[in-house]
């Protein structure tokens, strides 16, 4: 009898899912009961399935093995063992109001008045179907009240999802202009100077394991102090207006084949969006903007990792946009090493972040009985060194004279040390230098919670 070159998945056993529904786990696997899998692809599909399950952030550990191999017909059974993460985070929150640690520490003398504090309630698996509920109450520099719910299980096939997001924010201090590529602020402690309300409704379609389509509809209602609108910067909302109202319609596409979303080392990522701000109901905003992002991560000889992150922004409507909606480098994760103290506004943007990383430590910290919560007793920890090189360009046809970093090539380089906890909590210490010859040590932290 000829040796078969494929295996048939007879059944899949799932263990350890006390809260998570079995069908949610099966949805993330690269195979289903009854599938025929080529033998030379079996290990790859198992590794891909483990990555997909870890990227849900529902589990702290995933192990997939095959067993009960029948040599006659190559039938196998798959065993999926998961260790569920801690899902409920009713914890106090403390955040810096500024864009990064160095701006807060150096430019604002580590002022406690520029911090936010409050309470975040996050449930990462509300009904056991991977749906998220987040409620936030925040005081301090920015007062914020937020409620968000996300589910991917609108239908039995788990291909349709829904997201609802509402937030209200207010500030006494406002970044009303950019001069010499630095933020300029106005403050009046006797009154609230900036009010923002936002509401979003999104429908998602995820036909496979890697691709997601999303349609988002939103509404914005913002008000600013008339001193800013009429005297300090009439372009804040344009035309000296103190009220801004507009609707949003956006299409977003994502292809995600990274091994770990929080800190990728292999794989690639592609996203594209087209957003229309201003739908004709109000005339306060009129923009049509596209955003493109591509990431590639490569293993080099098993000793190094090359990471390339490229981003682009293009504005189809070539008229002056409101100051507050004209952001580029320095906001929304668009960072350029060595330029942490600066912001570059503009209609269009090109950005390339490159890093060569080398692992120097990879272990699991066992806290044992010192940690009463079992999900946190074992902490995966990695330490990597990196060599970084970034390039950026922002096109701003308006206001060139007061911001010299616009309309020119920017370059930043340096070295860094990355500490990664639980696969997606990253603390970075970097020494960076920009095209002016300015250098410094910069601290960054991000988490997917």
Each residue of 53-92: pLDDT tens digit? 988 888 888 999 887 676 667 888 899 999 988 787 777 8
- Report residue 383 as tokens: 């330490």
Distances (CA, A) of 280 to 248, 284, 287, 393: 10, 9, 11, 32
Residue 228, phi then psi, degrees to nearest 5: -70, -45
CB 223 within 8 A of CB 197: no
Q: How confident is the model at residue 37 (pLDDT cuts 50, 70, 90)?
A: confident
**Of 308, 334, 321, nearest in space to 386 by CA:** 308
Residue 36 scores a pLDDT above 50: yes
Cα separation, 352 vs 326, whole angstroms: 20
More confident residue, 3 or 107: 107
Q: What tens digit of pLDDT does each residue of 408-433 get?
A: 999 999 999 999 987 678 999 999 99
Residue 271 scores a pLDDT above 70: yes
Residues in the chain: 449
Q: Which range is least confidently modeled, 212-216, 308-312, 322-326?
A: 322-326
Please report the pLDDT score of residue 157 as a whole number.
85
Please report the pLDDT score of residue 153 as a whole number.
83
**Of 143, 139, 136, 140, nearest in space to 120 by CA:** 136
Percentage of the chain modeled with pLDDT above 90: 63
**Of 381, 382, 448, 444, nearest in space to 414 by CA:** 444
Residue 375 scores a pLDDT above 90: no
Average pLDDT over the chain, rounded to an integer:
90
**Of 351, 346, 343, nearest in space to 311 by CA:** 351
All domains in the chain, ordered by first residue: 6-84 (3.10.20.310), 89-361+390-397 (2.40.160.50)
Estimate to the nearest angstrom the gap between the alpha carbon of 396 and the chain centroid.
26
Please report the pLDDT score of residue 3 as a whole number.
57
Q: How confident is the model at residue 389 (pLDDT cuts 50, 70, 90)?
A: very high
Q: Which 3-state string (H, E, C) describes the chain?
A: CCCCCEEEEEEEEEECCCCCCHHHHHHCCCCCCCCEEEHHHHHHHHHHHHHHHHCCCCEEEEEEEEEEEECCCCEEEEEEEEEECCCEEEEEEEEECCCCHHHHHHHCCCCHHHEEEEEEEEECCCCCCCCEEEEEEEEECEEEEEEEEEECCCCCCCCEEEEEEEEEEEECEEEEEEECCEEEEEECCCCCCEEEEEEEEEEEECCCCCEEEEEEEEEEEEEECHHHHHHHCCCCCCCCCCEEEEEEEEEEEEEECCCCCCCCCCEEEEEEEEEEECCCCCCCCCEEEEEEEEEEEEEECCCEEEEEEEEEEEECCCCCCCHHHCCCECCCCCCCCCCCCCCECCCEEEEEEEEEEEEEEEEEEECHHHCCCHHHCEEEEEEEEEEEEEEEEEECCCCCCCCCCCCCCEEEEEEEEEEEECCCEEEEEEEEEECCCCEEEEEEEECCC
Please report the pLDDT score of residue 388 as a whole number.
97
More confident residue, 279 or 262: 279
- Residues 6 or more apart in contact with residue 163 via CB below 8 angstroms: 148, 149, 150, 151, 200, 201, 202, 204, 216
Residue 229 scores a pLDDT above 90: yes
Please report the pLDDT score of residue 70 as a whole number.
66
- Report residue 395 as tokens: 């096109």
Please report the pLDDT score of residue 1 as a whole number.
37
Residue 274 scores a pLDDT above 80: yes
- Report residue 125 as tokens: 């698996």
- Residues 6 or more apart in contact with residue 292 via CB below 8 angstroms: 271, 272, 311, 312, 313
Residue 2 scores a pLDDT above 50: no
Distance from the first to the final alpha carbon of the chain: 53
Percentage of the chain modeled with pLDDT above 70: 95
Residue 315, phi then psi, degrees to nearest 5: -105, 120
Please report the pLDDT score of residue 371 as a whole number.
67
């Amino acid at each position: 009898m000829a040796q078969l070159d494929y295996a048939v998945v007879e059944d899949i056993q799932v263990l350890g899912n006390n809260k998570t529904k079995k069908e949610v786990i099966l949805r993330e696997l690269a195979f289903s009961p009854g599938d025929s899998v080529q033998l030379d692809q079996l290990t790859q599909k198992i590794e891909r399935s483990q990555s997909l399950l870890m990227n849900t952030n529902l589990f702290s550990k995933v192990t997939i093995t095959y067993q009960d191999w029948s040599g006659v017909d190559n039938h196998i059974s798959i065993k999926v063992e998961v260790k569920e993460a801690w899902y409920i985070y009713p914890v106090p929150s403390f955040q810096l109001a500024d864009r990064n640690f160095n701006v807060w520490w150096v430019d604002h003398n580590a002022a406690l008045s520029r911090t936010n504090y409050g309470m975040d309630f996050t449930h990462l698996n509300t009904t056991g179907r991977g749906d998220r509920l987040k409620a936030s109450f925040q005081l301090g520099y920015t007062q914020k009240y937020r409620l968000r719910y996300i589910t991917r299980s609108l239908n039995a096939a788990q291909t349709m999802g829904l997201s609802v997001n509402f937030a209200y924010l207010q500030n006494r201090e406002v970044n009303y202009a950019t001069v010499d590529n630095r933020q300029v602020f106005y403050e009046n402690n006797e009154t609230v100077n900036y009010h923002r309300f936002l509401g979003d409704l999104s429908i998602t379609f995820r036909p496979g394991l890697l691709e997601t389509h999303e349609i988002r509809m939103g509404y914005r209602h913002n008000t600013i102090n008339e001193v800013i609108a009429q005297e300090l910067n009439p372009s804040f909302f344009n035309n000296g207006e103190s009220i801004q109202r507009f609707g949003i319609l956006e299409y977003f596409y994502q292809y995600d084949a990274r091994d770990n979303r929080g800190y990728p080392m292999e794989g690639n990522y592609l996203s594209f969006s087209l957003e229309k701000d201003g739908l004709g109901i109000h005339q306060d905003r009129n923009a049509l903007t596209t955003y493109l992002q591509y990431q590639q991560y490569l293993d080099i000889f098993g000793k190094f990792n090359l990471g390339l992150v490229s981003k682009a922004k293009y504005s189809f409507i070539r008229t002056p946009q409101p100051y507050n909606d004209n952001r580029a480098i320095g906001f929304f994760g668009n960072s350029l090493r060595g330029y942490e103290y600066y912001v570059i506004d503009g209609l269009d943007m090109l950005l390339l972040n490159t890093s060569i990383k080398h692992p120097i430590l990879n272990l699991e910290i066992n806290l044992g009985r010192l940690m009463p919560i079992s999900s946190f007793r074992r902490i995966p920890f990695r330490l990597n060194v990196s060599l970084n090189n970034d390039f950026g360009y922002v096109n701003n046809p308006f206001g060139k004279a007061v911001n010299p970093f616009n309309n020119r090539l920017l370059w930043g380089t340096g070295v860094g040390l990355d500490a990664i906890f639980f696969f997606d909590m990253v603390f970075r210490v970097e020494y960076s230098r920009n095209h002016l010859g300015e250098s410094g040590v910069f601290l960054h932290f991000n988490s997917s919670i």
